[in-house]
């Protein structure tokens, strides 16, 4: 089955640096696709080539079956693009910006108020964009990319400047857009975001895609042990070493950390010992996946 987005051999070089290195990618219609990777991995360059904003040195990309480069006017009404560095028309208010975008796409004006409401900017509608906070500007740029109800939405680190509440609101908005059948592609540094939203995640580093899979499958594939930690005052390392299922016991900053492959057995014994106060359980995360794929800690 062919995808709504198909990229083959996409490559971009800046001098000696290969920013994107022969990337093949398929995104199926209606999916929520994440691109995860540290600074400089090539995420923005890859997306911009797919969107038709940057000319590839090699390779091709199609969206909805049409080549995206050279810039394809057919495709534009179907695409919503939020750039990492957003630029607005000068001296316009938030509402005027959004209205300008609506006019460009021939969208009814009532949609402008709906979008302002959706991204929580109704009360800032009359503020000039240069007077908005970083997070408010980011929400406005997301609204601008969605105002024409595009089929395929690209968002480059959409939650980077958002506070936790705005981030959750945006997650809900993006999930709803995806549930309505739209394809969403987003880049992020946040593992929790990728885990919460994406059907598939491409882990990228040094211009290459290292793996593509469901976030949960990536984590499961690691078969990593569980870490259980407790304050040292509740459980000493000495006593923890007597736990039958403990693989390893460490002391870290006032905590006793037990590594185990049988968390149920450890937790049962801890309950019998009445040593559960302050307990924290941590399974593997996508950060561990990155560490395994690259041999390096994730550096966002």
Distances (CA, A) of 153 to 141, 156, 245, 285: 13, 10, 47, 26
**Do 152 and 146 contact (CB within 8 A), yes or no?**
no
Question: Which does residue 14 touch among Mg ion, ligand ATP, none (CB within 5 to 8 A, set by kind)?
Answer: ligand ATP
Q: How far apart are CA 175 and CA 167, in angstroms?
A: 12
Question: Which does residue 97 touch among ligand ATP, Mg ion, none (CB within 5 to 8 A, set by kind)?
Answer: none
**Do 63 and 230 contact (CB within 8 A), yes or no?**
no
Q: Give residue for tokens 């990618």.
A: 25
Report the residue number whose CB is nearest to Mg ion. 44
Residue nearer to ligand ATP on the CB measure, 86 or 259: 86
Binding site for ligand ATP (CB under 6 A): 14, 17, 19, 37, 39-45, 84
Question: Which does residue 41 touch among Mg ion, ligand ATP, none (CB within 5 to 8 A, set by kind)?
Answer: ligand ATP
Question: Which does residue 165 touch among ligand ATP, Mg ion, none (CB within 5 to 8 A, set by kind)?
Answer: none
What's the closest the beta carbon of residue 191 comes to ligand ATP, in angstroms?
Answer: 14
Residue nearer to ligand ATP on the CB measure, 84 or 211: 84
- In the structure encoding, which two tokens stand for residue 56, read together? 């590839």
What's the closest the beta carbon of residue 43 comes to ligand ATP, in angstroms?
Answer: 3
Q: Give residue for tokens 């049409």.
A: 66
Is 82 a binding residue for Mg ion by CB under 5 A? The answer is no
- Cα–chain center distance at 93: 29
Strands (DSSP E) found in the chain: 5-14, 17-27, 32-36, 58-63, 66-67, 79-82, 152-156, 183-188, 200-205, 208-213, 226-231, 246-252, 255-260, 280-282
Is 44 a binding residue for Mg ion by CB under 5 A? The answer is yes
3-state secondary structure 30-55: CCEEEEECCCCCCHHHHHHHHHCCCC
What's the closest the beta carbon of residue 17 comes to ligand ATP, in angstroms?
Answer: 6
Burial grade of 50 (CB within 10 A; 0-12, 13-18, 19 or more): buried
Residue nearer to Mg ion on the CB measure, 42 or 215: 42
Find the binding residues for Mg ion in span 24-43 (CB under 5 A): 43
Residue nearer to ligand ATP on the CB measure, 20 or 143: 20
What's the closest the beta carbon of residue 39 comes to Mg ion, in angstroms?
Answer: 8
What's the closest the beta carbon of residue 73 comes to ligand ATP, in angstroms?
Answer: 24
What's the closest the beta carbon of residue 15 comes to ligand ATP, in angstroms?
Answer: 7
What's the closest the beta carbon of residue 177 comes to ligand ATP, in angstroms?
Answer: 22
Contacts (Cβ under 8 Å, ≥6 apart) of 218: 201, 203, 211, 286, 289
For Mg ion, the binding residues (CB under 5 A) are 43-44, 84
């Amino acid at each position: 089955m062919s995808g709504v987005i198909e990229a083959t051999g996409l490559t971009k070089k800046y001098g000696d640096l290969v920013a994107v290195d022969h990337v093949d990618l398929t995104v199926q219609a209606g999916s929520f696709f994440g691109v995860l990777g540290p600074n400089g991995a090539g995420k923005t360059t890859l997306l911009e080539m797919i969107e038709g904003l940057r000319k590839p040195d090699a390779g091709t990309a199609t969206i909805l079956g049409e080549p995206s480069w050279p810039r394809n006017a057919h495709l534009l009404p179907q695409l919503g693009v939020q750039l990492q560095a957003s630029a607005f028309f000068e001296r316009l208010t938030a509402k005027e910006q959004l209205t300008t975008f609506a006019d460009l796409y021939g969208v009814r004006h009532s949609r402008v108020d709906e979008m302002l409401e959706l991204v929580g900017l109704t009360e800032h509608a009359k503020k000039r964009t240069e007077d908005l906070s970083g997070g408010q500007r980011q929400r406005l740029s997301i609204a601008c990319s969605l105002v024409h109800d595009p089929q395929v939405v690209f968002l480059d680190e959409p939650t980077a400047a958002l506070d936790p509440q705005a981030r959750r609101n945006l997650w809900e908005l993006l999930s709803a857009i995806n549930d309505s059948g739209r394809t969403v592609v987003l880049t992020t540094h946040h593992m929790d975001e990728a885990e919460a939203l994406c059907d598939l995640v491409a882990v990228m580093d040094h211009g290459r895609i290292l793996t593509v899979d469901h976030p949960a499958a990536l984590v499961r594939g690691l078969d990593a042990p569980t870490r259980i930690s407790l304050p040292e005052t509740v459980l000493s390392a000495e006593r923890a070493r007597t736990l039958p299922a403990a693989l390893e016991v460490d002391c870290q900053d006032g905590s006793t950390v037990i590594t185990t492959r049988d968390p149920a057995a450890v937790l049962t014994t801890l309950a019998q010992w009445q040593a559960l106060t302050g307990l924290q359980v941590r399974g593997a995360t996508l950060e561990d996946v990155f560490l395994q794929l690259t041999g390096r800690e994730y550096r966002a």
